[in-house]
Amino acid sequence: MARPRLVSDDAILDATRRVLAESGPAQLTLAAVGERAGLAAPTLMQRFGSKRGLLLAAVTRSAQQVLPAADEAASRHASPLAALRTFLLAAAAHQLVDLGNDPEVRRQVQSRSDAVLAACERFYRAALTSGELRPATDVQALSRQTLISWTGALAVTGLGPPRALIAEQLSALLAPHR
């Protein structure tokens, strides 16, 4: 009979995300994730097969969390632009870097980018309807610019905390469209 799992896969994937956010992909080890999750590295190997399997599971889960996070932000704000800001700041905590040239990992990272782009378009369309954005605003172009700015703010170092940089960049990006 198999032993019951005391630590869920979601808890392990959250630990993986935190190790990546704090140390970056070069410092990610099964031992570091195991320490954070309260498990031994061999247990992670048993569950995910390899470090690659763990990373793939983390990236896949991250992509699946985008639209629920957008729904959550939308439910908390009457203003679509306030919801967008909340969404982007919350999603930053779940962002995973592009972890190399592994085709499956890259597909999942692309899936996450596509979901963030769709969420941005949704918020901008609602902001047009509510009058928060100028009627001539190109929602698709603004959404692409937002995705690029958000991703860049997460990748840049030395300019301050990513959340503060995201908020600053979003304000600057939106200013001409209000």
How do residues 140-176 score in pLDDT, each as one tens digit? 999 999 999 988 887 776 787 778 888 999 999 999 9
- Whether 59 and 49 have beta carbons less than 8 Å apart is answered as no
Instruction: Give domain limits for the chain.
Output: 9-61, 65-177
pTM of the model: 0.74
Whether the per-residue pLDDT at 100 is higher than 80: the answer is no
Query: For the stretch 86-111, what's the b/e string if a residue is b when 16 or more beta carbons lie within 10 angstroms of its beta carbon?
Result: bbbbbbbebbbeebeeeeebeebbeb
* Structure confidence by residue, pLDDT tens digits, 8-19: 999 999 898 888
Say how far apart CA 108 and CA 63 lie, in whole Å: 7
Buried b (16+ CB within 10 A) or exposed e, 28-45: bebebbbebbebeeebbe
Q: How far apart are CA 25 and CA 77, in angstroms?
A: 34
What are the two backbone dihedrals, phi and then psi, of residue 162, each rounded to the nearest 5 degrees? -55, -40
* Average pLDDT value over all residues in the chain: 87
Q: Is residue 134 over pLDDT 90? A: yes
Cβ burial, residue 4 (10 Å; 0-12/13-18/19+): exposed
What's the CATH number for 65-177? 1.10.357.10
Superfamily of domain 9-61: Homeodomain-like (1.10.10.60)
| Phi-psi region at 158: left, alpha or beta (left = phi > 0; alpha = psi -120 to 50) | left
